[in-house]
Homo-oligomer: A and B are copies of this chain.
Amino acid sequence: MQELVTNLGILAKNASYKLALLSSEEKNQALNAMADSLEKHRLAIKSANALDLKLATDLSKPLLERLNLSDKTIDSMISGIRDIIKLDDPVAKLITSKILANGMELKKVRVPIGVIGIIFESRPNVVADVAALCLKSGNAVILRGGKEAEHSNRAIMDALSAGLAQINFTPEAVQLIPVQDRMAVTYLCRLNNYVDVIIPRGGESLIKAVTDCATVPVIKHYKGVCHIYVDDSADISMALSICHNAKCSRPSVCNAAESIVVHENIAPEFLPKLAELFHANGVEMRADESARALCPSMKMANPIDFSTEYLDLIVSIKVVANIEQAIKHINKHGSHHSDAIIANNQLSQQAFTRQIDSAAVYVNASTRFTDGAIFGLGAEIGISTDKLHARGPMGLNELCTYKWVGKGHGHIRV
């Protein structure tokens, strides 16, 4: 298996040099061929998926839902690729340009990263989404999915390969590692000569396993333990509306709120209203002592609740004495993803936006806005909770690096 993974790496690296030189038109043709081929292979993909679902006897309901490829999911895989065709090509764009004191011209130019390794779980549609984003940004990609989606992933990969073959496009632009050997992940994550970055997408244990073994740089797309802090200067009806939106509009996504932190001065008025609202929406509330003193119907929270990503209609609730305590709590227990303050006091707003150490910080707005398309970055490969290279939504630009190009006329350093 080590030899197989190394060979995939060598092929991908060679392919990446070709991909880096392609015009936007050539890349868009390949994307079109991929989309058409998915449509053509719809039945094969669906029957492979049916097999995976049949074999998945021990998966929980949410995991089964993620594994399931309905016609609607396949439609959105196809339309997703067509949307990426419309996005601006990030490659070869000039970032900065200057003439140095010695007269030499120096440009900073955006270029593809090279070879991207994606390790993911459950959702087979990731294969198509990621392949399209990497191809458009001029990168070769090596994918490694979970065993539970083995046949679905392979069927989608076969469809993409068939599409690329039809227009004689470099077949090694997109490759899938077979799942039979768990060590394949380790080999891939240590392939420093051929793989430039690993992006793990999945649960905590997957991310930890990848981080532990990787020598290739990793950009983590970690959990979203997002907070809404309700300051004592908050507009209560605004706070209720935002808490409802952040918790209830789509609880299964990483930018949904998992914890509400409330200033003690506003808690007596705010919390009973929040309890009523959340109760009406079927949200289970796990609260600290102070919150329960005001709303005895709330359940008692365990310490672990305050750093848990529920991805469900559950929320933790904490009362704090002041904004400093709120900031400290969020920086310690959050996942540095997205956090919001509801406040009219400008000093509170400023303290929060400056001191919260997260990818996205909101004032009087829902955490649900953290999204590549909404931020104007186009489709996203995910939301980075790391601080290096890309923070927050990671789109086509963030799938690139840069190089410095200096043009002289015999310039030497004196």
A residues near B (Cβ < 8 Å) are 17, 20-21, 92, 98, 100, 104, 106, 113-114, 192, 196-197, 211-212, 215, 217-219, 235, 238, 241-242, 244-246, 249, 331, 349, 353-355, 357-366, 368-370, 374-376, 386-389, 391-392, 401-413
Contacts and interface: CB of A to CB of B under 8 A. Distances in A.
A366 B215 contact: no
30 contacts: A20-B354, A21-B355, A113-B388, A212-B215, A217-B217, A217-B388, A235-B410, A238-B410, A242-B410, A242-B411, A245-B412, A249-B413, A360-B403, A360-B404, A360-B405, A360-B406, A362-B406, A363-B405, A363-B406, A364-B407, A364-B408, A364-B409, A366-B408, A366-B411, A366-B412, A369-B411, A374-B413, A375-B404, A388-B401, A392-B404
Nearest to A400: B387
How many identical subunits does the complex contain? 2
In terms of DSSP, what is the predominant structure of the interface of chain A? Answer: mixed
Contacts of A92: 354
A402 B369 CA distance: 17
A255 to B, nearest CB: 9
A362 B242 CA distance: 53
A113 B387 contact: yes
Nearest first, the 7 closest Cβ-Cβ pairs linking A and B are A365-B408, A245-B412, A368-B413, A365-B411, A238-B410, A388-B389, A387-B401
Nearest to A255: B413
